[in-house]
Structure 1
Amino acid sequence: MGIELLSLILVVILFGCLALGLWVGFALIAVGLAAIMLASTAPAELVFGTKVWGALNIWDLTALPMFIWMGEILFRSRLSSDMFSGLAPLTGRLPGRLLHANIFGCALFAAVSGSSAATTATVGRMSVPELTRRGYDDRMIIGTLAGSGTFGFLIPPSIILIVYGAATEQSIARLFLAGIGPGLLLASLFSGYTMLWALTHRDKMPAAEPATSLGDKLRAVILLGPTILLIIAVIGSIYAGLASPTEAAVVGVLGALILSALGGSLNWESTWGALRGATITTCMISFILAGAAFLTVAMGYTGIPRALAAWIGEQGYSTNMLLAALVVFFIVLGMFLDGISIVVLTTSVILPMVLAAGIDPIWFGIFLVLVVEMSQITPPVGFNLFVLQSITGRSIFEIARHAFPFFLLLVLATAILTLFPEIALWIPQTMLAR
């Protein structure tokens, strides 16, 4: 059977399974079974058992449930409301004023949760009613929140970076450090756009509120203190070489439990809810990783990745042309799949040609996450859109329209990262070279 026909059959099986509503993990396993049965005489059951056990029996993956658990604990604590209350007095003098609380609030919460959906939901539940009550424009309330909620994928500790690192055998510590520069770039772009919009749409901004006193600003800093300390404890321990990502995740969980206890929100109900939520999410991601690991080895039997990489090489594409094509490919794929599924589904096929083009796999991980972030705010399957629909009651397509400027800013950030790869690579090269 020719590779072209085999590829077509596997694509039909994959999208057929997804269209039937089959779980992504099952769909990946089904495609892997079909690939081995059609292209090889290898015993599928032995390949499945060996590869899945090897893929999940990785020490670095231990950080995954711990960071998810940390985010679940904080989601149920007072830390999020204190964080928003602390940011409000500090953003009052910026053009756009409290709209920046969405951007900076998402950036801070992303640095302690690792989840895009959790970041959007947590900040949105506090900010949307408050900003609406104060008369801010609905388009910018929803747009800044939808765009900034994607920070959960990029700013460490990022769950999707752990998944990418495990799938590609890259250093999770390096990936975490590489995500800091692009995360700051995105926050700056979003904040700059918000200021520009506020200056050119003064008629849509509410009346200025009374200036905050020095005492209010000091109290705001105090409210932000626990969040900042937790970020320093988790990311700083990796920076300083005191802890691996897994050990830093344990520090994060202990810190989250302490902050939750000090805030009075640690009880049996919240503890059980956090543990249950973390278990469900971890099992879901692990099942997808198992299916992806099996599909990866199955694709090796078919020879499709090698043939595709060779075909790309024969086209004579430059590195920038290849990356531009991948951006379009991932944007289209992101309309139908969630971010983690995109990463584990495509890595086995895409990575060989990326490495053949001389692209740094750490840099490509950040590039991939930036593009996957776009899928969070593109209909019909944009998780941030679903979260905001539940908060605001607006339609998916209306929310997507409000988020479109921030989608374009994500595209701009991807272009900037391509032109200046040092934005992602400088920190890990500098810090881990010591």
Structure 2
Amino acid sequence: MGGNVLDTGTAAWILFGGFFGMLALRVPVAVALGLACLPPLLIEPRLWPMVLVQETFNAYNSFILLAVPFFLLAANLMTIGGITERLIRLSRSLVGHLPGGLAQVNVVLSIFFAGISGSSTADAASQGKLFIEAQVREGYDRSFSVAITAVSAVLAAIIPPSIMMIVWGGVLTVSIGGLFLAGVVPGLLIGLVQMGTVHAYASLRGYPTYPKSTWTELGAALLVAGPALLTPFIIIGGKIFGWFTPTEAACIAVLYAIFLSVIVYREMSGRGLWKAFSETGRFAAITLFCVGTASAFGWLLAFYKVPDALLAGVGTWEMGPILTGFFIAGVFLVVGCFLDAIPAIIIVGTILQPVAMEAGLHPIHFAMIGIISLAFGLVTPPYGLCLLISCAVGGIRMTQALKDVCIMLLPMLSVLALLIMWPDMALLLPRLLEPDFLK
């Protein structure tokens, strides 16, 4: 293979075998990706171990990726600054009277929080602490409480501003503004089917509701939470009208969160500010380290032409756009069970991009299929990071919540199927509001 010591098949076995072998030994994903790169780099005379460092740092040489820590910081500032409490009050006024009132509030708060944080794991951790024990005290089954908290957290990966969208746009050169607009309708539909699932559970199991709020109470809750609700409109609106880039939007979100927490709500202390920065640094380090090692792993796959070998037979299947969409979704759903979304985007997204282009899928449509499929992987074992976090907070094993998670995923998968068959679900808003994003 062009003078390489290792042929394509052997290189693929070493890379993937080493990676999954280390995952089985519970090595962290980012570290496993980096270590799996070392054997080919040591064996191949034309390569050397410093390539791992070079390719890792090349991945960080991206202005767009600066948005990731800033969005995480905005979310932490809003949580610590009392903004989440205002959103809970508004959510309860809106949907607390529906069957399964507290679980409905859980879902609606996830929709609101998704428009601020962009991080499903941050959502799962914060929502778990707020809602799981509270729901159990009100008579909800613990497995249901854990499952709905984990499942609703995936909305942060779908509703803009999503960190997955930022990484996808930066790696695969897709309009991030277009992705932000494309995620609105599918994200809200998934939120609605989650609320419908809660309604069905509550009707069958007799979960409690709250008294219906008066118009005065609703107006007061909306007035208090209104400034926080402006955040996603500032971010997305600024991107649509060309006022700032995604990274600049993330910086604006941080400044606005500080303004709300310190000036408007006056709940941010010096200790709280330090906590927000320290937690953001920890989460951002994990996320960006994963981006770097996954990029090095992807570089080696390209060097040995592994994607070409994997896709050699796919072109002969002659699938149309719809079948290709289901094929792509199936691949991402399986990959999401074993791999974090960010390395999956960098490695698998790059591999599948030519398949999507050949089938005539619009890059934004392809991106939304991949992002939503990978978001579902956050609650499917064995990886299922959001489910693991929620189970840890709820004090139960993953297997105890798995039945309820599977039931909740079924209507969500129907939304994914509808997206594949009806591309305008993702493309309608970009086409109406900013057609340049589709070019």
- Relative to the length of structure 2, the TM-score reads 0.89
Q: How far is 1:420 from its partner?
A: 0.9
Alignment of 1:142-157 (within 5 A): 142-157=146-161
Alignment of 1:81-96 (within 5 A): 81-96=85-100
Contact 1:335 1:375 in 2 (8 A): yes
Alignment of 1:420-431 (within 5 A): 420-431=422-433
Contact 1:94 1:195 in 2 (8 A): yes
Paired residue for 1:244? Answer: 245
Instruction: Give 1:130's aligned amino acid.
Output: A
Q: How far is 1:282 from its partner?
A: 1.9
Instruction: Give 1:253's aligned amino acid.
Output: V
When residues 348 and 47 of structure 1 are mapped into structure 2, their CA distance, relative to the original with a 3 A threshold, is farther
Q: How far is 1:41 from its partner?
A: 5.0
Pick aligned residue for 1:174 from 163, 178, 185: 178
In 2: Cα distance, 1:192 partner to 1:407 partner: 12
Contact 1:89 1:220 in 2 (8 A): yes
In 1: Cα distance, 2:68 partner to 2:212 partner: 43
Q: How far is 1:210 from its partner?
A: 3.8
Give the unaligned 5+ runs of structure 1: none
Paired residue for 2:23? Answer: 18
Q: How far is 1:28 from its partner?
A: 2.5
Residues 317-338 of structure 1: CA distance to partner in whole angstroms, max 9, x if unpaired? 4444444344343333333333
Alignment of 1:61-72 (within 5 A): 61-72=65-76
Contact 2:55 2:296 in 1 (8 A): yes
Paired residue for 1:375? Answer: 377
Q: Does 1:3 align with 2:8?
A: yes
Paired residue for 2:308? Answer: 306
Alignment of 1:253-332 (within 5 A): 253-261=254-262, 262-332=264-334
Which stretch shows the higher mean deviation, 317-326 or 150-159?
Answer: 317-326
Pick aligned residue for 2:135 from 122, 131, 134: 131
In 2: Cα distance, 1:51 partner to 1:336 partner: 23
Residue 381 of structure 2 aligns to a residue whose secondary structure is: coil
Which stretch shows the higher mean deviation, 419-428 or 17-26?
Answer: 17-26
Paired residue for 2:58? Answer: 54
Paired residue for 1:233? Answer: 234
Paired residue for 2:101? Answer: 97
Residue 98 of structure 2 aligns to a residue whose secondary structure is: coil
Q: How far is 1:186 from its partner?
A: 0.7
Q: How far is 1:49 from its partner?
A: 5.3
In 2: Cα distance, 1:347 partner to 1:314 partner: 20
In 1: Cα distance, 2:106 partner to 2:27 partner: 35
Contact 1:142 1:402 in 2 (8 A): no
Q: How far is 1:174 from its partner?
A: 1.7
Contact 1:71 1:113 in 2 (8 A): yes
Contact 2:419 2:426 in 1 (8 A): yes
Contact 1:153 1:369 in 2 (8 A): yes
Instruction: Give 1:87's aligned amino acid.
Output: S
In 1: Cα distance, 2:49 partner to 2:386 partner: 38
Instruction: Give 1:25's aligned amino acid.
Output: A
Paired residue for 2:3? Answer: none
Paired residue for 2:111? Answer: 107
In 2: Cα distance, 1:301 partner to 1:338 partner: 23
- Relative to the length of structure 1, the TM-score reads 0.90
Pick aligned residue for 1:418 from 411, 417, 420: 420
Residue 266 of structure 2 aligns to a residue whose secondary structure is: coil
Contact 1:84 1:126 in 2 (8 A): no
**Cα RMSD (Å) of the superposition?**
2.5
In 2: Cα distance, 1:17 partner to 1:79 partner: 40
Q: How far is 1:284 from its partner?
A: 2.0
Q: How far is 1:99 from its partner?
A: 2.5
Give the unaligned 5+ runs of structure 2: 1-5
Which stretch shows the higher mean deviation, 259-268 or 102-111?
Answer: 259-268
Paired residue for 1:392? Answer: 394
Instruction: Give 2:116's aligned amino acid.
Output: V
When residues 181 and 44 of structure 1 are mapped into structure 2, their CA distance, relative to the original with a 3 A threshold, is farther
When residues 148 and 225 of structure 1 are mapped into structure 2, their CA distance, relative to the original with a 3 A threshold, is same
In 2: Cα distance, 1:340 partner to 1:116 partner: 12
In 1: Cα distance, 2:79 partner to 2:325 partner: 36
When residues 35 and 180 of structure 1 are mapped into structure 2, their CA distance, relative to the original with a 3 A threshold, is farther
In 2: Cα distance, 1:299 partner to 1:378 partner: 26
Q: How far is 1:57 from its partner?
A: 1.3
Residues 228-260 of structure 1: CA distance to partner in whole angstroms, max 9, x if unpaired? 122222222223332221111111001111222
Contact 2:75 2:117 in 1 (8 A): yes
Pick aligned residue for 1:164 from 157, 163, 168: 168
In 2: Cα distance, 1:426 partner to 1:34 partner: 47
In 2: Cα distance, 1:63 partner to 1:148 partner: 23
Instruction: Give 1:18's aligned amino acid.
Output: L
In 2: Cα distance, 1:15 partner to 1:193 partner: 35
In 2: Cα distance, 1:389 partner to 1:46 partner: 40
When residues 9 and 102 of structure 1 are mapped into structure 2, their CA distance, relative to the original with a 3 A threshold, is same
Residue 310 of structure 1 aligns to a residue whose secondary structure is: coil
Contact 1:91 1:97 in 2 (8 A): yes
In 1: Cα distance, 2:24 partner to 2:140 partner: 40
Residues 240-299 of structure 1: CA distance to partner in whole angstroms, max 9, x if unpaired? 332221111111001111222133332222212211222222222222222222222222
In 2: Cα distance, 1:376 partner to 1:92 partner: 27
In 2: Cα distance, 1:395 partner to 1:297 partner: 37
Paired residue for 1:338? Answer: 340
Percent of residue pairs bearing the same amino acid type: 27
